[in-house]
Amino acid sequence: FPELIPLFKIERIREVLVRRESELRYMMDDIQLCKEISRLKKELQKLIALPEKEKSNEEKQREEELVQQIHKLVETRDFLVDDVEFERLR
């Protein structure tokens, strides 16, 4: 039986490391999503700052695209955060 104790400890360490790796992947994904959301928001702010009557059709269309992209990324991030919380509770 004494030879099983080190194996048990090794398996426990492996489980902890696998869980930590998963947490780090989530964190990296979250950072990337936040960077992309921030980049899109900056672009959107520049377009919003333009007077409405001076905006070209392309600028108005781009503004709408940016809003949709940001919304989609925020939803993706929400799912990611929910996933992290679910994994943490397990």
pLDDT of residue 8: 87
CA distance 70 to 75: 9
pLDDT of residue 1: 60
pTM score: 0.78
* Total domains present in the chain: 1
- Kindly state the greatest CA–CA separation across the chain: 81
pLDDT of residue 83: 86
pLDDT of residue 84: 81
pLDDT of residue 86: 81
CA distance 69 to 75: 10
Reading the block at residue 10, the tokens are: 């090794």
Closest CA to 70 of 42, 28, 37: 37
Range of the domain at 43: 3-89
pLDDT in tens, the chain (90 residues): 666 778 889 999 999 999 999 989 999 999 999 999 999 999 999 999 999 999 999 999 999 999 999 999 999 999 998 888 887 777
pLDDT of residue 6: 87
CA distance 63 to 48: 8
Q: Are 40 and 69 in contact (CB under 8 A)?
A: yes
